[in-house]
Amino acid sequence: MIVSPFALWFIIGAVVAIYSCVDDVFFSKNKAVLLEHLWRTSPDTLIFFGVEKGYKIALVMFIIIDTLLGPVALYGFYRKTHKMKQLKAKYFGK
């Protein structure tokens, strides 16, 4: 079975996006950090959509962007996890 490079790009991106979403929701539990960052950077977005819907929209945007980035999403996932650790330390002192 031969897979075209174009399709392989999106397959790799989708795998990274799914793992990134599972990591955010279940393993690292970044919900509080992400909501605090959204509240500090653009509170009008959270007021307009609400907290839960704003969080779901952020996760969907992560999935879409990671899927489109393909293999580059691995670097993006590394940077996102590193940034989330920094933001957790900054916002919550942990």
pLDDT tens by residue, 55-92 = 888 889 889 998 998 888 889 888 988 988 898 898 88
Q: What is the C-alpha R_g of the chain?
A: 15
Side chain identity at 32, as an amino acid letter? A
Side chain identity at 5, as an amino acid letter? P
Q: What pTM does this model have?
A: 0.79
Is the pLDDT score of 94 beyond 80? no
Q: What confidence tens digit (pLDDT) does each residue in 24-38 have?
A: 888 878 888 888 888
User: Per the structure block, which two tokens stand in for 74?
Assistant: 């691995």
User: Per the structure block, which two tokens stand in for 19?
Assistant: 């793992």
